[in-house]
Amino acid sequence: MTLAPRAAVGVATADAVVVGAGPAGSAAAWFLAEAGHDVVLCEKETFPRDKVCGDGLTPRAVKALRMLGLEDEAEGSVPGWDRQGGLRMYGGGVVLDLPWPDLDDWPAHSVTATRSLFDHTLARNAQKAGVQLWEDTEVLGPVWLTESERRVAGVRYRRADGAEGVVRAPVVLAADGGSSRFAVQLGLHRDEARPMGVAVRAYYRSPRAAMGMMEGFLELSRDRPGGGSELLPGYGWIFPLDDGLVNVGWGLLNTSEHFRSTNYRRTLDEWVGGFPPEWEITRETMVGRPRSAGLPMGHNRKPPVHRGAILVGDAAGMVNPFNGEGISYAIEAAAFAAEAVDAALRARSDSPLHTYERAVAQAWGGYYTLGRLFVRIIGHPEVMRFCTVHGMPRPALMTFVFRLMAHLTNRDSRDVTDRVVNALSRVVPAA
d(CA 290, CA 204): 10
Is residue 241 domain-resident? no
Return the pLDDT at 389.
80
pLDDT one-digit tens code per residue, 154-198: 999 999 999 999 999 999 999 999 999 999 999 999 988 888 888
pTM of the prediction?
A: 0.93
**Helices (H), ranges, 248-354:** 264-272, 327-347
Confidence (pLDDT) at 266: 87
Instruction: Give the separation between CA 66 and CA 328, rounded to whole angstroms.
Output: 11
Spell out the residues 6+ positions from residue 128 whose beta carbon is closer than 8 angstroms to its own: none
- Rounded CA separation 237/125 (Å): 29
Domain count within the chain: 1
163-191 core/surface letters (b: 16 or more CB in 10 A; e: else): eebbbbbbbbbbbbbbebbbbbbbebebe
Predicted confidence (pLDDT) per residue in 250-291, tens digit: 988 887 777 777 888 888 998 898 899 999 999 999 999 999
Query: Which pLDDT score is estimated for 4?
Result: 46
Question: Order of strands, edge to edge, in the sheet holding 39-42?
Answer: 132-134, 39-42, 16-19, 171-174, 309-311, 305-306
Averaged pLDDT, groups of 10, the chain, 431 residues long: 50 97 98 98 96 95 98 97 96 92 94 98 98 98 89 96 95 96 95 87 97 91 68 84 96 78 85 93 95 90 95 95 93 98 97 96 91 79 74 86 89 77 75 66
Cβ atoms 321, 372 nearer than 8 A: yes
> Looking at the domain assignment, is residue 383 inside a domain?
no
Domain for residue 397, yes or no? no
Phi and psi torsions of 221, nearest 5°: -130, 155
At 150 the three-state DSSP class reads coil
Residue 90 in any domain: the answer is no
In a domain, 161, yes or no: yes
Q: Which helix (H) or strand (E) holds 25?
A: helix 23-34
CATH number at residue 20: 3.50.50.60
- What's phi and psi for 142, nearest 5 deg? -75, 155
Quote the pLDDT of residue 376: 80
Reduce the DSSP state of residue 160 to 3 states and report it: coil
* pLDDT of res. 419: 81
Angle subtended at Cα 324 by Cα 125 and Cα 269, rounded to the nearest 5 degrees = 105
Residue 54's pLDDT is: 94
C-alpha to C-alpha distance for 282 and 205, rounded to whole angstroms: 9
Domain with 153, as residue range(s), is 6-83+106-192+298-368
pLDDT for 5 equals 46
Q: How far is CA 77 from the centre of its chain?
A: 22
Backbone φ and ψ for 233, nearest 5 degrees, come out as -85, 60
* Domain membership flag for residue 122: yes
The answer to whether residue 131 sits within a structural domain is yes
Residue type, 13: T
Q: Strands 152-159, 220-223: parallel, antiparallel or unpaired by DSSP?
A: unpaired
- Give the model's pLDDT for residue 1: 40
Residue 429 and residue 364: Cα distance in Å, rounded? 10
Which residues, in sequence order, are bridge partners of residue 309?
172, 306
